[in-house]
Each structure stands twice: as C-alpha cells, then as structure tokens.
Amino acid sequence: MQRVVVTGIGSISPLGSDWAEVKARLGSYQNAVQFIERWREYEGLGTALGAPVTDFQVPATYTRKQTRSMGRVSLLSVCATEKALEQAGLLGSDELHTGRAGVSYGSSSGSTDAVADFGEMLINKRTDGLNATSYVRMMSHTAAVNIGVFFGLTGRVIPTSTACVAGSQGLGYAYEAIRHGLQDIMVAGGGEELCPTQAAVFDTLYAASTNNDNPGQTPRPFDRDRDGLVLGEGACTFVLESYDNAVARGATPIVELVGFGTNSDGSHVTRPNAGTMARCIELALEDAGIPATEIRYVNAHGTATDHGDIAESTATEKTMGSGVSISSLKSYMGHTLGACGALEAWMSIQMMYDGWFAPTLNLENVDPGCGDLDYIVDAGREISTEYVMSNNFAFGGINTSLIFKKL
C-alpha cells in the first residue's frame, strides 16, 4: 500500500481564493450569503439567497478554443486545478502525460445555460439553440473531462456526480487509486456553479432558507430555529500523489490523507440515516488505523436542515464521542454542493496548521435533537491536533468521511 500525500491545492470560493483571504473572512464572523435579485424572476421560487463567487474572471491566457467546451462549473474547476498543479510543481510537467496521472472530480450537474438550451429544444421542438459543445457543457462529468483535456491528463478519469459528496468522493477515489498503486498522481476535488434549478430542488423539499431579508442571519446549522440551507458555488482541487513519487521529484507534501470511508443508506433518497452515517465514519477511522480520540476537530456537513443536522449529530456523537469539537463552514459560504467536500476539507487542513478553528455562525440555541457535541460557537477556538476529519452526506443516502494527518 502506498502512502498518499497532498502536494498542491487550488481553490475558488465565496470567501476568497487563497487562505489569507479566506481566514480573514472566517475571522470576521460574517458570511458570504447575498440576496440574489435575478432569482425573483422565477414565480413560485421561495428562496432568493445564495453565496456566489463575485470576483472570478477567466484568465486572459485561456483561448477560445480551450474554453468553448466549458461552462462556468468547468471554468471554475480548471482554474482551481491550474493553481493546484502550480503549487505542486506539476504545471506543464511531462508526468501528467504518462498515463500514471489521472483525474477524479465531481459536480452535481453541468452548466445551467447548456441545460436550458436542451430544455428549449424539448419545449419548442427546435435545435437552433444548440451547438457542437452544448452537450459537453451540460453533461454531469463536464468538469472532470475538461480538466483532463485542458492539462493533457492521460490516466484514469473518475467522474463523481454524487451531489453533496462529489468533491469528497473525488478525493477518496483518487486516494484509493494511488494507495493501491494504480496511479502515481491524481487531480481530485469538485466544483459547482450557482444555479436556480438547484435552489428550486431544495425549495420544493421545504429545505431552503427563505429568510430573504436577512442574508447574514442564515443558514443556521444545528440551531433550534434554523430555516433551511443556502446554496453557494466554487471549486477546489487537490493534487494527490504517492509519497514515493512526491519525494522522488523533490516535492514538499502539504498533508497526508490517511483515511477514507464511504457507503450508502440504501433506504431513502432524501432522508439521512444516522446508522449508516456512523458506519461511514467508522470505516474512515478503521482505514486510518487510529482511535476516534486522536481527532480533536470534525468539519461537519452541517446543512441547516432538520433531518440532516439531527442524523449527522447523532452519528458523530456515537462514533467520536461528545467531547470532539465540531463546526459547519456552510454557515459562512452556503452549501457549495459538488465543491463542498473539497473546499471544506481544504479549509479544515489550513485551520489545523494554524491551530485555530472557525465557529458555526448563527448557532445560538443548539437543537436538543443534536445531542451534546462540543459545538464551536460565537468565536474561533484554538485547538492543537494532528488529525482532522471532514464529513459529507448527500442525496441518495451517500456518505463520506475523510481523515487528514499533519506532516
């Protein structure tokens, strides 16, 4: 079995695109949630809240030929990947073209405008709105494919279109490919663009916040008075390598990925199951070969939905004990869906090295159903730990747990 290390990370988020910027935003205790005026155009859509990336620009060096197959989710993902490869010292490297470097990447869906073009075809019985790249921009594995083509990756392509765990499964499956010697390098993570159709999904389930007049006061993960989730967008890419490969080329590992667990509830597509969530966490601990007591911080999925918060809290307390510190970064940047597993893992790693962990914003009265976990509230907390755990749980009853070790 190969050790798996991270040698580069690139991100684009509603809180910023480098750690100094993100940490400053976390330390300000103000979230990135905004009122989205254009969503008021959709009759019947109750929520008009989102956490957009407001400063993203396509690099001037990207040509039209390179970008014509990309919608926003692919552009975000490719830009994040370029940053990660540059940090890893692999941008432009021949190692990417040997067949031993692949991509494991996910999003919930393709780009909104391309989906709309096909919708117009079905409604109006006309194809004049389509072109040669419409499907590539719409398909669920658009980010993974565009990353592979843009950087010339010729190894495995593992698309993880698994909603809220797309990014964490992207990391986990890349980890497994390297650990078992099937690849030396994997570009892994997830991305998502802010889309009104996804807001409508949660709205119809009565799971989206409609606190449109008070963006800063929602979402409220684990709070008794929570009113639902808020969507965000972004992308985050990790460069994973075998430890031997990283050492051989003189790279400096950032962190080691030591544990991954994933399973499914097999019972309901939208109602979470605390029992299988707990088993997923146990699988990650078993994979890492450490007891729960070694982990002093858990990054929660923390969506601010009734069933999700309670099931997750129950599972976490059962496996990790009530003394573990826990918080939800979705209170800052909303639910970034396919990107959240990678973005939240990255931020957890950075907080581990800083020894400071952000609280859950807007958590004033812990729901009694959420148990006795040590929720970080009001202000950040100094914690010294060698390990962090990052958990995500998705539609379809798909669960993931990742454990990272400080180097």
Q: Which residues are catalytic?
A: 164, 301, 335
Q: Tell me phi and psi for residue 198, to 5 degrees.
A: -70, -35
Q: How far is CA 199 from CA 44, 228, 294, in A?
A: 12, 11, 38
Burial track 368-380 (b if 16+ CB lie within 10 A, e otherwise)? eebbebbbbbeeb
Q: Say how many residues make up the chain.
A: 407
Rounded CA-CA distance 167/339 in Å is 5
Q: Give the span between the Cα atoms of 138 and 129, in whole angstroms.
A: 13
Q: What secondary structure does DSSP assign to 191-226, as a single string?
A: EE---HHHHHHHHHTT-B---TT-GGG---TTBTT-
132 contact partners, CB below 8 Å, separation of at least 6: none
DSSP conformational letter for 67: H
What is the Cα–Cα distance from 299 to 388, expressed in whole angstroms? 8
